[in-house]
Structure 1
């Protein structure tokens, strides 16, 4: 497979974005999503599992706790170093490999289960990424994903940032992976028994400002947006984020609780 120079340039910028800040701190907050997905996928001990766009290893580690044979892949070396340290701390034999979700270094049908938690959805070439997920999954194997939805809090977050710093033109929004029609387009007849279940994760912070500070410092996409804007426009974005959180906040105890919708996607690779 080959990619266009435009997509290659976008991917290079994405790598720098995810390497900035401290994505591991954000990933630590959403670890429960991976635990829930692995349980929903009902993966058996001894299964061969690959976690695509693993980041700091959330889903890979969750699968390894089920005594699976696990590999996590990501194209950001710094995130993989964090993942290796986490797995080593738990004495889990997970192997982490630097690789692109759009060009997985795997044989056809090599894996019993293919996972990705809010990871592969950010690949700029969505069709190519979906084709890779299905290619490396064995016939009858499981594909399990967790993707943010366009109508949830994270979808609103991306739109809020995008109004100040527009995304690259011609690239489909990552949150389209959070809609059933788009998932059916991406996977087509390569999967059967496609199930798309809406779930909710709740971010918990001391205040709306605490959320804005955390994501400005740790989450690459928002950190880079602030860097691009400069001080004056950055203050406007900060105010936008605080207002966004206030609109989604459901806490009644003086803290901040932000329900964030995602879809849990389970499918079976066609064939036998």
Structure 2
């Protein structure tokens, strides 16, 4: 499959469910990213893979001028609607993070909350992140890591999913510090830190139902399965989540890597 076709599939996949219903589960990640870039009121900020806009809405408190982009038109339309509902004057537009439609050195801040990691050409993504940031500009991106239960979760989804597209980058590779250093280290001074943003549900069934109804990749996966496969996946997921039951509900850890970068001056 050509990467352009794959990206169109991704755009449809991420827009397949009402992501705004589950975006709140990333709130603490967004807060951490916003604090990490130390934005100033006169900064111009690009949030790539902005989804339904939640990080951008939180970032308005900095006073920066914020633009959001996503490959999914459905996500962008939802972000625009929510911005109007919340009284935010923000620009949201569709864009491919491998070919951003912006001039060199346009932005003071670039963020991507588990967003650019899903693009197939990782080197091209890294090049674009460096290209659109001004010297001394700040980068913050996050990527899932796979230790513990979340690794089992990804493996379980993988058993029911089509094989990966040949040559396409794997999103969880961004969760390795050495991998990010190899991609970004020439253009950025980097620091790394590890965190967790658990997904909490009242019960194993509730957690699975929330994912199955609102999280686009799982919505699309379920559409591709027959009834027997759907039932088997549900049973395995509920068994997995049931092992995470606490007195306050089911708590699924979601460990992630925060990559912070300062743009170096381009070499002549």
Give the TM bin, normalised by the shorter chain. Answer: over 0.9
Q: State whether structure 2 residue 172 is matched by structure 1 residue 175.
A: yes
SS at match of 1:96: strand
Q: Is 2:150–2:252's contact at 8 Å kept on the other side of the alignment?
A: no
- 1:154 offset after TM fit, Å? 4.3
Q: In the alignment, what sits opposite 1:96?
A: 92
Can you give the 5+ residue segments of structure 2 that lack an aligned partner in the other structure? none
Q: Cα offset for 1:252?
A: 2.8
- Partner of residue 52, structure 2: 56
Q: Which residue number corresponds to residue 252 of structure 2?
A: 258
* Counterpart check, 1:218 vs 2:218: no
Deviation of the 1:125 alpha carbon: 1.2
Matches within 5 A, 1:1-150: 6-150=2-146
Structure 1-normalised TM-score? 0.92
**Structure 2 contact 198–253 (Cα < 8 Å) conserved:** yes
- Measure how far apart 1:22 and its partner are: 1.4
How many angstroms does 1:141 deviate by? 0.6
Per-residue CA distance 1:111-158 (angstroms, 9 max, x = gap):
001000011111111111111111101111111012211225544322
Query: Could you say what secondary structure the match of 2:62 adopts?
Result: coil
Query: Aligned partners of 2:65, 2:149: CA distance in 1, in Å?
Result: 34
Asked whether the equivalents of residues 48 and 97 of structure 2 are also in contact (C-alpha less than 8 Å), the reply is yes
CA contact (8 A) 1:147 1:177 kept: yes
User: CA contact under 8 A between 1:59 and 1:115: conserved in structure 2?
Assistant: no
> Offset of 1:258 from its aligned partner?
1.7
The alpha-carbon deviation at position 88 of structure 1 amounts to: 2.4
Q: What is the CA RMSD across the aligned residues, in angstroms?
A: 1.7
Cα distance in 2 between the residues matched to 1:212 and 1:17:
18
With normalisation by structure 2, the TM-score equals 0.93
Structure 2: distance between partners of 1:112 and 1:50: 8
- Counterpart CA distance in 1 for 2:151 and 2:62 is 31
- Give, in whole Å, the separation in 2 of the partners of 1:69 and 1:49: 6
| 8 Å contact from structure 2 (residues 203, 245) kept in 1 | no
